Amino acid sequence: MAKRKRKDYPVWIFGGLITALAAAFFYWGVPLILSGAGAQAHLRAQAARLRGAPPGEAAAGVARIVKGFLDLSKDVNQIEVRIDEAGADRVALTLIVPWSMSASKVHRRRSGAAARLTAALLKSAGAGQVGVSVNVRRKRTNPGTSDPAGRTLYLPRSGKFEWHGAGGL
């Protein structure tokens, strides 16, 4: 067996320091992740301020919060958001996606995520009985025109989300 050279010790010490620093950062980073200081917690706190308002005003406020949140991420997903209706019985949003985003699976996921976020914020605002409808439209090459691509509905009585493709509208 060959003896270890004394030149190997600085490498092991350096490796140990890097491992210790990584472990320390993970240890101190866990409370930041688990404390609920993320985007969804911030949105729920904004919606909770609407708790005392009538359901119509709370629904309109939640629709504005969701639109603002989705508009902030517009650079990433290139989706235009429009509030069609925000009343005491229903919140209706329209997501206008680029023509190049043609997969129905992507439309279903985007509208489902927007509907789940809206429903969660409505519950935080104390308006859990308000339904949610998220329509998806594909922008055409002609300016100002679009085709229907699908719709996600949230029915508060059953608590289920239903996806209807372009053919089922």
Nearest to 65 by CA among 114, 112, 19: 114
Question: pLDDT tens for residues 84-112?
Answer: 999 999 999 999 988 887 788 888 998 99
Do the domain assignments include residue 17?
no
- The boundaries of the domain holding residue 48 are 39-168
Run of H or E residues at 5? none
pTM of the model: 0.74
Q: What is the CATH number of the domain that holds 164?
A: 3.30.300
Nearest to 62 by CA among 54, 8, 103: 54
Do the domain assignments include residue 58?
yes
Do the domain assignments include residue 1?
no
Do the domain assignments include residue 32?
no
Residues in the chain: 169
Do the domain assignments include residue 21?
no
Q: How many domains does the chain have?
A: 1
Total Cβ atoms within 10 A of residue 118: 27
For each successive 10 residues of the chain (169 residues), what is the average pLDDT?
Answer: 68 92 80 65 89 91 93 76 92 90 86 93 92 92 83 91 81
Exposure b/e, 48-62, CB count within 10 A at least 16 = b: eebeeeebebbbbbb
Cβ neighbors of 102 (< 8 A, separation 6 or more) are: 138
- Beta-sheet pairing, 90-97 with 131-139: parallel
Run of H or E residues at 103? none
Confidence at residue 73, expressed as pLDDT on a 0 to 100 scale: 76
Do the domain assignments include residue 4?
no
Do the domain assignments include residue 135?
yes
Confidence at residue 124, expressed as pLDDT on a 0 to 100 scale: 92
Confidence at residue 67, expressed as pLDDT on a 0 to 100 scale: 93
